[in-house]
């Protein structure tokens, strides 16, 4: 199992940050490994909402579903994803950290299976680097949004 935890402080209110992140259609704006993400369920975002996203992993393009399995706005959500050789669970928390500031923490857990297990040592090295890069970019993108 691969486990990664990372936090970033975003200079925006928790509700704004939560709503931006939980809408997975925003993923391509801050995660350069995501080519596209589309909501596949109807209705408002909540437990059971689904998306499909396409991401790159090295030279491969991976199409994977995303399902929101826990939803506690604006404090926490859990999403599950995976395709073929891996399963991913990401727990995101959003804590007020001063006046209009949010501490965003992600705990990412990934299980590899089948032939993908052979690549687990390489994936284990890549996840912290990619995760930190994604969180840094998330901070930039949200802080660049217009304020009300």
Instruction: Quote the pLDDT of residue 115.
Output: 59
With b meaning 16 or more CB within 10 Å and e meaning fewer, what string describes 67-92?
bbeebeebebbbbebbeebbbbbbbb
Q: What is the arrangement of strands in the sheet containing 102-112, beginning at the earlier edge strand? A: 2-10, 102-112, 86-96, 76-83, 60-72, 50-57, 34-39
R_g of the chain, CA atoms, integer Å: 15
pLDDT computed for residue 119 by the predictor: 67
pTM of the model: 0.88
**Secondary structure (3-state) at 79:** strand
Query: Block means of pLDDT (10 residues each) for the chain, length 148 residues?
Result: 89 96 96 95 97 87 94 97 83 93 94 65 70 90 89
pLDDT recorded at residue 111: 82
Give the pLDDT score at 57.
75
């Amino acid at each position: 199992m691969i486990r990664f935890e990372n936090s970033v402080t975003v200079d925006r209110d928790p509700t704004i940050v939560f709503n931006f992140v939980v809408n997975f259609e925003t993923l391509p704006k801050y995660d350069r490994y995501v080519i596209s993400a589309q909501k596949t369920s109807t209705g408002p975002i909540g437990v059971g909402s689904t998306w499909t996203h396409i991401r790159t992993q090295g030279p491969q393009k991976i199409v994977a579903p995303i399902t929101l399995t826990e939803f506690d706005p604006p404090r926490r959500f859990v999403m599950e994803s995976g395709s073929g050789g891996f399963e991913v669970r990401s727990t995101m928390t959003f804590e007020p950290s001063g006046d209009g500031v949010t501490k965003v923490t992600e705990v990412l857990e990934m299980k590899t299976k089948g032939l993908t297990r052979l690549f687990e040592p390489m994936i284990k090295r890549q996840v912290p680097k990619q995760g930190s890069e994604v969180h840094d970019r998330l901070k930039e993108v949200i802080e660049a949004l217009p304020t009300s």
